[in-house]
Amino acid sequence: METKSISETNAVNDITGGSMANKDPSATKSLANNHNSLRGLLEHQLNDIYSAEMQLTKALPEMAKACNDEELQDAFLEHLDQTKKHVERLEKIFIKLRIEKTGESCKAMEGLIQENKKIILEFEESPVRDSALIIGAQKVEHYEIASYGSVSELADVLGLHKVADLLERTLQEEEFTDKLLSEIAMDINDDAYETEEQSSR
């Protein structure tokens, strides 16, 4: 049997918030396969968020390319970099908690991304399209905020405080992005209104 080094053991203990000696691997495995347990629910939700983030890394470049406003384009590209970091955090959690990736796709994110693709196809490049893209992007943010808030609370209840802290950090970043999009929307919506007013004269 392979023996873990002290540093490896401490790294696992640091994120799980407990000693490996007090953990029963078979019990952990059974919980992982049981969605009726809090641990099973946590693992299911983490897989769902992981899928959502992976989908978003592919969608954000398309959304940025479709923008007319440079500030909005930059915001989408910055969030792309941030989303990649969120994926890395989730992968770290998966490794430390020994969670298997199910490969199941997040249907909610599929729908939200499809809605944004429809916006790109149906709206001409204009401030109005940018307004529509912000609405679509904020729907995505609100889904992520709800998801990270819920799993952070679950992890905390289960005593996985280091995991909860990582998830809380991501939650705060999602909330910041949502606020930033709201601020950008104020200017873009004004531009869209002025453009329509001028065209109607």
DSSP-derived letter for residue 20 is: G
Domain holding 33, by residue range, is 24-199
Whether 178 is in a domain gets the answer: yes
Q: 54-108 pLDDT, tens per residue?
A: 999 999 999 999 999 999 999 999 999 999 999 999 999 999 999 999 999 999 9
Single-letter amino acid code for the residue at 111 = G
Whether 18 is in a domain gets the answer: no
Q: 109-139 pLDDT, tens per residue?
A: 999 999 999 999 999 999 999 999 999 999 9
Q: How many domains does the chain have?
A: 1
What's the CA gap between 80 and 112, in Å, rounded? 16
Percent of the chain at pLDDT exceeding 70: 82
Per the CB < 8 A criterion, the answer to whether 178 and 138 are in contact is: yes
Whether 1 is in a domain gets the answer: no
CATH number, residue 58: 1.20.1260.10
Whether 3 is in a domain gets the answer: no
Predicted TM-score (pTM) of the model is 0.81
Whether 123 is in a domain gets the answer: yes
Whether 11 is in a domain gets the answer: no
What's the CA gap between 82 and 176, in Å, rounded? 11
